[in-house]
Chains A and B, each alone.
Chain A
Amino acid sequence: MPTISHMTRTTTTGGLRAARDTIPVALSIAPFALVVGATGTQLGVPPLADMAAAATVFAGAAHFAPLTMFAAGAGVLAALGAAVLINARLLLYSTALEPRFRGQPRWFRWLGPALLIDQTYLMVLARDDLDDPARFRRYWLVGGGLLLSSWVALVGLGGVLGPFLPAGSPLDAAGVVVLAGMLGPRLTAVRPLLVALTALLVATAAAPLPGGVGLIAGIAAGIAAGALLDRVPS
């Protein structure tokens, strides 16, 4: 049976490790959060409302996509569809992490997954000392909680600073650059590279289509290319 001092030490080190792991990750998402906040303000969304949305969505690309699509004149369904497609990968992440949640309290099994994003998934994968359910829970709540609060605060900061940016600030370039930075590390093999290339080319060519149809066409083309490639023996 673990002693109280052992349990305290486990809790403390789990929390400290999570905090230490989270700081560089929080710094890396800062530019994107600022761009998301500033873009929301440009569309007339008050910073506090955008912060509430940031806490609810808690996924940069899925938050940013509807904003850019609304800016391009898209409808609600197209914008929502893009966000859902972008976040479909969360099904994979939560499937992979299900064993970690299996022995956890019910409240954690329902609320804990709200902190699941690319970064928390990768942070957990990178650690081999989270077999103890309590330690995993502590690590997840501290790391994910810090990341969520950083994200929400930075989106709010971007929203407040947005109106003070000089006219002609390349916000659209900033958004594209951030997305390209997120895409780069995913292209580690030929298959995702071809999927991305197909989606990019189709979305670029179809950009003048109204209502965000070009974006949806690009996503669909990329997924279709992936499905075709899956039929080819590697």
Chain B
Amino acid sequence: MNALAIVATLVAAGAVSWLLRVIPITLLPAARLPAPARRLLDHAAPAAIAAMVGAGIAGGNALPELAARLPVLLGALVAGVIAWRRRGLVLPVVAGLAVAGALTAL
């Protein structure tokens, strides 16, 4: 994929994101979204981020080949648990990277 296509995709994502931000405020004010749709939207963020974590851990490898990705898996686990226990992103990221880096170096 060339750089122009990547930037164009990102700009398109930005345009759609702006619509998502502005529609309930300016075009279709609040509370008109059906309750089932709201609940589905509620699930979208954790599902999307978790799927990205899963895809990142696998790194394109099939399940039997995941042993090589153990440092990434454990780094992600450490970061996730620390972030769950205490808010903020700096400490979880530093700790997760330290674990992933140390295990990779071993």
Contact = CB atoms under 8 A, between A and B. Distances in A.
B55 interface: yes
Contacts, number: 339
Given A92-B42, A173-B97, A203-B58, A83 B13 contact: yes
Interface of B is mostly: helix
A65 B29 CA distance: 29
Contact of A196 (B13, B46, B72, B92): B46
Contacts of A3: none
A200 B73 CA distance: 12
A84 B13 contact: yes
Nearest to B37: A91
B60 A72 contact: yes
Contacts of A172: 56, 59, 72
Nearest to B2: A44
Interface in B56-106: 56-63, 66, 71-72, 75-77, 79-85, 87-90, 92-94, 96-97, 100-101, 104
12 contacts: A43-B1, A56-B10, A56-B14, A91-B33, A101-B26, A170-B100, A177-B93, A184-B82, A199-B50, A203-B55, A222-B46, A222-B51
Interface of A: 24, 27-32, 40, 43-46, 49-50, 52-53, 55-59, 61-68, 70, 72, 76, 79-80, 82-95, 97-99, 101-102, 109-110, 112-114, 116, 170, 172-188, 192, 195-205, 207-208, 214-223, 225-227, 230
